[in-house]
Homo-oligomer: A and B are copies of this chain.
């Protein structure tokens, strides 16, 4: 096990009716709140009116910025930064899924910073301050409600980049599985895939002596794989949603990555797809992850076999390990297929003539002059990433 340091002070407030506490929770923490949200679905399903009623009942002042889209845009973040400064906002409440929360985190970092907030995503600067954030989670998927990460897309340069800052960890996050009954099947599937992939990015490692965390990862992945298809059949089921929503938080709050090297190559390879073609991140991962696995599988048979047997339930201890490992990838692809997710680049809507070579270079940042190879189990140069995109074609 590797040395590690871990802290996650986010308070998780989980269960029925919990969102109605938001006003009283914010009252001692905030003078003026930015209420940040997406395309307005919260106005249709009643969440918006409950939140506003709770803020008003507690006497919490607020202003609003809606309009966050999937793959949240830098332009709206800059607009949010200006608004917070004008309105003297000292706390941001994100009501939404991962895109809204990431947008809120970016605004939070931007407000106290004299330069342009993109500096934190391009790697030019390290954030040193943030407005505090809290969340009401309306789509369980990204785990951003309890992570220090944020991903934003600069729609001008076509770059989708991430930042990591412990100051961005929400003060509290409210998770009410009652909200999720009305999510459409593709959002359920994308979310389930995203949380599964957050665990897989931590699970696939050759760090020795990670038995405890391996076991915790496998238990969480099995819960997701068992309950994902159940949700598609029965999306109004609170109990299934409670398993999936909590799994989504645990998948990305850092617990499942303790003491081990982590991956994140597949995420970076996917970010380039969603930056260029604006596909949903979860759908992109359903295509990229099995391709990445196929590319690495034969050199790292041990962990891929462990995955096949312990997570995907592939049997047959007498067969060759590498065969079992490939069978595990096939079983994962079958699961994605059952979830109605695309599993090839064409199915994801990526055109046959997409500039895969250039995208591979973007993903490894080689075009910036200095390559930053991806991956933990094995360093991936842009040529490797190109092979993975090719494996994802069919």
Are B219 and A250 in contact, with the CB atoms below 8 A?
Answer: no
Find out whether the CB atom of B246 lies under 8 angstroms from the CB atom of A212. Answer: yes
Residue of B nearest to A13 (CB): B5
A215–B220 contact, CB under 8 A? Answer: yes
Q: How far, in whole Å, are A14 and B1 apart by their CA atoms in the complex? A: 10
| A138 on the B face (CB < 8 A) | no
Known: A3-B16, A216-B216. Contact between A243 and B211, CB under 8 A?
Answer: yes
Contact A215 B222 (CB under 8 A): yes
Q: Is the Cβ of A14 less than 8 Å from the Cβ of B259?
A: yes
User: Which residues of B lie under 8 Å from residue A313 when comparing CB positions?
Assistant: none
Residue of B nearest to A7 (CB): B11
Residue of B nearest to A212 (CB): B223
Which A residues from 1 to 31 make CB contacts under 8 A with B? 1-18
Residue of B nearest to A12 (CB): B6
State whether B258 touches A246 (Cβ < 8 A).
Answer: yes
Tell me if A12 and B5 are in contact (CB < 8 A): yes
Least distance between A137 CB and chain B CB atoms (Å): 14
Tell whether, in the assembled complex, residue A219 and residue B209 are in contact, meaning their CB atoms are under 8 Å apart. Answer: no
A351 within 8 A of B: no
CB contacts (< 8 Å) of A48 on chain B: these are: none
- What is the distance, in angstroms, from A259's C-beta to the closest C-beta of chain B? 7
Q: How far is the CB of A10 from chain B (nearest CB, A)?
A: 7
A7, B253: Cα distance in complex, Å: 12
With a cutoff of 8 Å between Cβ atoms, the chain B residues found around residue A13 in the complex are 5
Report how far A208 CA is from B240 CA in the complex, Å: 11
Q: For A16, what are the chain B residues with a Cβ–Cβ distance below 8 Å?
A: 3
A301 on the B face (CB < 8 A): no
Chain B residues whose C-beta falls within 8 Å of the C-beta of A298 in the assembled complex = none
Q: In the complex, what distance in Å separates the CA atom of A386 from the CA atom of B274?
A: 64
Closest to A239 in B: B209
Bound state CA distance, A99 and B91, in angstroms?
Answer: 40
CB closest chain-B residue, reference A3: B15
10 A-B pairs with the lowest CB-CB distances in the bound complex, closest first: A3-B15, A215-B219, A9-B9, A7-B11, A1-B242, A209-B239, A212-B223, A219-B219, A6-B12, A216-B219
| A–B complex contacts, Cβ < 8 Å, 28 sampled | A1-B14, A1-B15, A1-B177, A1-B242, A1-B246, A3-B15, A3-B18, A4-B12, A5-B11, A5-B14, A6-B12, A7-B12, A208-B239, A209-B242, A211-B223, A211-B243, A212-B223, A212-B243, A212-B246, A212-B247, A215-B219, A215-B220, A215-B222, A216-B216, A216-B220, A219-B219, A246-B259, A255-B255
